[in-house]
Amino acid sequence: MWPAVDAIKQQISLLEYLQNQSWKPARRISRGRLMGLCPLHLDHKPSFLVDPVQNLFYCYGCGRGGDLIRFVELYHDVSFGEAMALLRRSGRCGSLLPDVARFYQVQLHRHPEAAAYLQQRGIHQPQVIEEFAIGYAPGRCLRQWMIPLGYSLGELQQAGLVNADGLDTFSHRIVFPLQANLYGRAIGNAAPHRFLPGGKGGLYGWERVKHYPEVILVEGLFDLASLWQAGFRNATCSTGSHLNAHQLRQLCDRVPRTVYLAFDSDANSSGQQAAQRLSRRLLQQGATALRVQLPDGHDPNSFFVGGGDGQQFQQLLEKAMP
């Protein structure tokens, strides 16, 4: 029900939290469970039981028990939302965007229109959906989920997740979490691409890709997901055909590197022009740039959706020209 709650409980164990509050077990009982003085009431003989495996507590003295969040509520005498906020502030917990992304991930499987759209874009492997943490923003519900978790409406507005009227800004969109942003692709008639305010950041997944001497650069996240699905792990994405300075530096951080530019081969040839400009800049920086010629009117995503396979794409890579 509450992805952010699960995330917090995965990140902080009850026992760890208790120990950080200077709780010490007095003795160990069966199945790894621990007994100690109850931090919730004035206790003289150990009546507080902790089960580190189940992540649950129970006190035989005051009769109270539950999970980590319940403990924080009782210990600090705060509401559920305040307890969540306290746990997040304890530093090692998820922050707003990862929590929002996890919420959208859960929604993906609850909305048939989202699954249908992914099918239509040829994304069908569960591992790819998992790898890219693809989610779905149904719209009209984000604040109801996030505010009880301890986020304020102001925080959501500041991040650009809800507008001044408190309505979701990402609505009917497939969502890809980026390093410090979200990308939303409209599945309806709205403007196709949307980001939160703030920069788009570096190249997608660069930490994994940068070790390859040859990398494939694509414009869109659906292109990237299709390449992944076809087994190309050395691919990255600039989310748009214009690269920012950070992304350019990343591509040139290691020489020699060969960059295959697999940009859209669209009718107005803007993708190919962008590839040409980029190829010149990369050459100036000492990288080798090769332009991949996709069939007319195609991008890597539509190439695979239209029946192209990994072997055929490999042939295009081999035919790529400076």
Task: Give the footprint of Zn ion on this chain (CB under 5 A).
Answer: 38, 40-41, 59, 61-62
Distance from the Cα of residue 34 to its chain's centroid: 36
- The nearer residue to Zn ion, 62 or 320, going by C-beta atoms, is 62
- The nearer residue to Zn ion, 27 or 89, going by C-beta atoms, is 27
* Location of structure tokens 């590197």: 257
The rounded distance, in Å, linking the Cα atoms of 95 and 84 is: 11
- The nearer residue to Zn ion, 37 or 209, going by C-beta atoms, is 37
- CA of 181: how far to CAs of 89, 132, 160, 175, 274, in Å? 20, 14, 10, 10, 24
The rounded distance, in Å, linking the Cα atoms of 73 and 289 is: 57
CB of 61 to Zn ion, least distance (A): 4
* Location of structure tokens 């809800």: 162
CB of 166 to Zn ion, least distance (A): 40
Distance from the Cα of residue 220 to its chain's centroid: 16
CB of 38 to Zn ion, least distance (A): 3
- The nearer residue to Zn ion, 65 or 160, going by C-beta atoms, is 65
- The nearer residue to Zn ion, 37 or 227, going by C-beta atoms, is 37
- Core vs surface per residue 100-119: b (16+ CB within 10 A) or e: bbbbbbebbeeeeebbebbe
CB of 70 to Zn ion, least distance (A): 13
Q: Are 253 and 209 in contact (CB under 8 A)?
A: no
- CA of 114: how far to CAs of 109, 188, 219, 305, in Å? 8, 10, 22, 17
CB of 40 to Zn ion, least distance (A): 4
Which residues have C-beta within 8 Å of that of residue 116, sequence separation ≥ 6? none
CB of 58 to Zn ion, least distance (A): 9
- The nearer residue to Zn ion, 43 or 266, going by C-beta atoms, is 43
* Location of structure tokens 């160990």: 28
- The nearer residue to Zn ion, 64 or 193, going by C-beta atoms, is 64
CB of 63 to Zn ion, least distance (A): 7
